[in-house]
Amino acid sequence: MGLRDKRQIEKNKTFFQSVGHAISGICRLVLEERNFRFDLIIATFVLIMGVIFQISLNDWLWLFAAFFAVIGSEVLNSIVENVVDLIVGRQYNELAKRAKDIGAGGVLLSALFAVIVGCLIFIPKIIELIK
């Protein structure tokens, strides 16, 4: 008999093992998901704008809610896409397309929420700066 497969199939034994897998997942998102990287770039830009405009604590809370809504929906969409691809492989399937489109729609809705939050926070600050 050959060597046994060392890949983990049981539950994590320790908290740190769970954290390690979570960090691995985040790294995979950053390396493999273009839209996730784009979301991080936009979030970084908005954070810099928040510092420049010295926004209030309440505004920061709304911005972080928007960031995590977008990033969270992007993560869920990536999960949907990977599971669908695992099931249907490289063949076209109408239900698979529907599932992927709905996942992408969820990301779009959360991004719209983030744009609205950003506009409500930054447009008055920009107008005040112009005056």
Average pLDDT rounded to a whole number, residues 38-53: 97
User: What is the DSSP track for 59-76?
Assistant: HHHHHHHHHHHHHHHHHH
Q: Is 100 labelled a binding residue? A: yes
CATH class of the structural domain 15-130: mainly alpha
Q: What are the residue numbers of the active site?
A: 74
| Reported confidence tier of residue 3, pLDDT bands at 50, 70, 90 | low
Length of the chain equals: 131
Tell me the pLDDT tens digit for each residue of 99-129: 999 999 999 999 999 999 999 999 999 999 9
Across the range 74-78, mean pLDDT stands at: 97
Hey, what long-range contacts does 122-127 have (CB within 8 A, 24 or more apart)?
A: 122/49, 122/53, 125/53, 125/55
Domain boundaries, the chain: 15-130
pLDDT at 1: 44
Pick the more confident residue, 119 or 8. 119
pLDDT of residue 2 exceeding 70 = no
The verdict on whether residue 33 carries a ligand-binding annotation is yes
Predicted confidence (pLDDT) per residue in 13-42, tens digit = 899 999 999 999 999 999 999 999 999 999
Question: Residue 16: what residue type?
Answer: F
Contact between 74 and 36 (Cβ < 8 Å): yes
